[in-house]
Structure 1
Amino acid sequence: MRQRTIQLRRAKCLFVHWRGNKLLFYNFATRLSVSAKPLTCEVLDFFDSWRTSHDAVIHFAGYTPRSVRAALAELVQHGLLLPKDSPELTQDTRIAEEWSAWLPAGSFHFATKDTPYIDRSRWSLNRLKSMLPKTAQPGIFKTLKGTMKVSLPKRAFPDSEFIRVLMARKTHRRFSKEDVTLEAVSQLLSLVWGVTGYLYSPRFGKLLHKTSPSAGARHPGEVYLMALRVKGLRPGLYHYHPAHHYLERLSTRVTPNKAWLYCARAEHAEKAAALFLMTAVFPRTMWKYRVARAYRVVLLDAGHLCQTFCLVATWLGLAPFCTAALKDTLIEKDLGIDGIRESVLYVAGVGLPATSARAKRRFSRSADRHAGSPNKDEA
């Protein structure tokens, strides 16, 4: 009897599309997908407002009550119909309301969260190659045929610290077991995410200035430090305040294994001394830009910050890396953020280079190696 009185409503976070000869229904909030017949659209349309299974039995009188109730049960199971007062309904409603300006295009953000990753670290080379497409790789350079070529001056760079840092930047996967210093972490946070000044706009008031650009000076990015081996700082999760330059401790329950889980079981993540968990507070950008294209600039902002991070870390003699292979929901839960208004986008990490002396020699010679034109073997 209770099943007949439970109120149901169609999910708002819903896509319907054809793939081949199948009609697919996809809930991008729960990332559940199911194929169904076109009649399902009529059923979902009926549940545009709150209805019960009893209402549906009456409306679809051409079908047996048993078949109608069975169909509704399947739609609930696959997240296409949502029961009143359910957690799924709360999430669905919040996304539809908070992201109304950027939907449906903004659904990309939710549809690509918590992607499953396979640990291939112990796979043989032949097995790895077998996973690649059978077609040839796309060319790594683009050359336009039939155009006039204009030679440029020889590539020769001045002997400057900036050029040495730029040329020394690389992604590291191996780290020393030594701790990084709190001073180095402090400089990283300040030079990458810290406020360097303020601008005044008659229309928007006080705006932030940082070392990386941000569309409309909205700066949606936030950063959380996962300190694993930072000398002078207790291991834990911290939020960085960019204006006052201090850390706010959220938790002390951090382990290398948790870093490994955060970064989709990447072995180098658990060996890092610290992770920097980059999030975006979307309303900062949505408030000004009410079109879905603005979602792109939030991602671009994260990219700007990460490149600045890698360069500053290199300048400090640290070994940086970055990854977008993340377990979004796990990170967001531990940070205490909702994944709707604020969501994780990117993770960067550092340690000391695996062989400090070797790394220093490589750093000092990097500008020389890259200053001249490529030789024939490099071309």
Structure 2
Amino acid sequence: MSQDTLYLAKNVCVRPHHDDPSTFEIAWGEGCRRESFVTESAALASALATAPAEAPSDHEVKRLAGVLDMEAADAEELVAGLRDYGLYRTEPDDLTAAEDRWLDVAWADALDLHMATRDSIWVHDYSGNPKVMTRYFVDRNVQPETPPPPRYPVPSGETVQLPPVKPLTEQFDSAQARRRTGRNFRNATLDLADVATILDWTFAPRWPADAPEYHATQTYSRGAPFVAFALFAGEGAPAEVRRDFAAYQYDPIGKRLVYRKSAEISAWSELLWRQDYADGAPMLLVVCADWKQFMWKYRIGRAYRFAFVECGAFMQTALTVATGLGVSAFQTPAIDDAAFCELLGVEDLDLGPIYMAAFGRTGSRR
């Protein structure tokens, strides 16, 4: 092998293979250019996991010959093969300025996700309204081999039946024009019919009448991957619910709230990284993504981005309905995921909190 400098490819990963944990997968590259191979040799996996980012080729041959206890000729052949395969490069595979910036702010995990999902051979495709909205970029849509997962279950337990919704008489464009962000929920109140109206229009399926599946908010996921929780606190909360920072799961079919648990906190800001813009609000609405449902339909890494867009669409409906009711609202995705998961009694990898909104009628107490 001629004397030259070898550079390790970008985004090298060494891990147990998911199908057979006794073997090892060595992968590198990104998106549709990602390559990998599987080896049974723990010594080779270890040697590649500790490979230098840059080294003269003869040094790498000598290193591998030593750690793998092989002849120099065999090590030279191995290095040549790995170079032809792309694990070793003859030119540096440097990070871009933007990628390097992510490392500057200690966000390596986000950089890994970005590398893994960009320029993917799997693309979003909703033409013809397929069951799975993912297409292999050359010639075919993914065909599901299993039925869609069932909706996230509504638990049994203490229940609050919601009353009929209030009529919404204001024109849609007028309500949209009046929408403002509210930050002062001092002395705010909310009655149970307000809660019912916001939740019903936002999350209850409405059409067609014989078998409802479409929501007021039209998204391709049709709402199934999202689960709503209503949290209540303070004297301004409806009299029918617990007021001790209590979390309820909304049942969009039974039109009811099911109690989950209460938080041992004194203000909503304890769930919001000490930000106090929701303090005093009688209700928080928390919308979670059911990843099992969502990833069944969108089988690409970029689907995480779609979750925020589609979830945000439902939240925009909630804010518009609140405006039509004369209820102030403040919404944000900047929430303490771990704190909300603990309160809701869910695992973030199964049911992930995406958006939070605070609601309340400002003014005197009822």
TM-score, L = length of structure 1 = 0.50
After superposition, what is the alpha-carbon deviation per residue over 1:246-286, rounded to whole angstroms, capped at 9, x for unaligned?
111011335442x2122221112222111111100022122
Partner residue of 1:231? 238
SS of the equivalent of 1:265 reads coil
Q: 1:264 and 1:164 mapped to 2: Cα distance?
A: 34
Aligned partner of 2:252 in structure 1 is 242
Which of 327, 333, 342 is equivalent to 1:324? 333
Q: Distance in 2 between matches of 1:264 and 1:40?
A: 40
Whether 1:286 and 2:295 are equivalent positions in the alignment is yes
2:270 is the alignment partner of 1:270: no
1:173 equivalenced with 2:179 (yes/no): no
Give the match for residue 333 of structure 1: 342
SS where residue 277 of structure 2 aligns?
helix
Give unpaired runs (5+ residues) of structure 2.
Answer: 1-13, 19-25, 30-44, 52-65, 70-113, 119-168
- Cα separation, partners in 2 of 1:240 and 1:324, compared to 1, 3 Å: same
Bigger fraction of residues in helix: 1
Q: What is aligned with 1:43? A: 49
Residues 187 and 309 from structure 1, CA distance in 2 versus in 1: closer, same or farther, beyond 3 angstroms? same
Letter in 1 for 2:225: P
Match of 1:220 in 2: 225
Q: Percent identity?
A: 21
Q: 1:353 to 1:44 in 2, by over 3 A?
A: farther
Q: What residue in structure 2 maps to residue 184 of structure 1?
A: 194
Amino acid corresponding to residue 190 of structure 1 in structure 2: D
CA distance, structure 2, for counterparts of residue 41 and residue 321 of structure 1: 53
**Cα distance in 2 between the residues matched to 1:190 and 1:215:** 19
Is the partner of 1:237 in helix, strand or coil?
Answer: strand
Residue pair 2:202, 2:318 contacting (<8 A) in 1 also = yes
Counterpart residue type for residue 243 of structure 1: I
Q: After superposition, where does 1:118-267 map in structure 2 within 5 Å?
A: 161-198=171-208, 208-217=213-222, 219-229=224-234, 230-232=237-239, 233-235=241-243, 236-253=246-263, 255-257=265-267, 259-267=268-276
Question: Counterpart of 2:320?
Answer: 311
RMSD of aligned residue pairs (Cα, Å): 3.7
Inter-partner Cα distance in structure 1 for 2:199 and 2:312:
16
Report how far residue 288 of structure 1 moved: 2.5
Shift of 1:326: 1.1
Judged with a 3 Å threshold, the aligned counterparts in structure 2 of structure 1 residues 15 and 316 are, in CA distance, closer, same or farther, namely farther
In structure 1, stretches of 5+ residues that fail to align are 1-8, 18-38, 46-58, 63-101, 107-158, 201-205, 357-379
- How many residues end up aligned between the 2 structures? 218
Written as runs of structure 1 = structure 2, the 5 A alignment for 1:93-132 is 104-105=116-117
Name segments (4+ residues, structure 1) moved above 6 Å.
Answer: 11-17
Q: How far did 1:198 drift?
A: 4.9
Contact 2:47 2:67 in 1 (8 A): no
CA distance in 1, matches of 2:230, 2:194: 13
Q: What residue in structure 2 maps to residue 299 of structure 1?
A: 308
Superposed displacement of residue 304, structure 1: 0.6
Distance in 1 between the 2:221 and 2:320 partners? 24
Aligned partner of 2:125 in structure 1 is none
1:179 is displaced (CA, Å) by 2.5
Give SS of 1:269's match: coil
The C-alpha deviation readout for 1:265-319, integer Å capped at 9, x for no partner, is 1112222111111100022122123223333322111111111111111111110
- Structure 1 distance, partners of 2:318, 2:15, is 44
1:12/1:167 CA distance change after superposition, 3 Å: farther
Is the 1:224–1:278 contact (alpha carbons within 8 Å) kept by the matching residues of 2? yes
Looking at structure 2, the residues matched to 269 and 260 of structure 1 have their Cα atoms a distance apart, in angstroms, of: 7
**Deviation (angstroms), 1:43:** 3.3
How far has the Cα of 1:334 moved from its partner? 1.8
CA contact (8 A) 1:215 1:297 kept: no
Q: Is the 8 A contact 2:250 2:256 kept in 1?
A: yes
Q: Secondary structure at the match of 1:243?
A: coil
Q: Distance in 1 between matches of 2:310 and 2:251?
A: 18
Structure 1 residue 332: Cα displacement: 1.1
Q: 1:104 to 1:323 in 2, by over 3 A?
A: same
Per-residue deviation at 1:347? 0.5
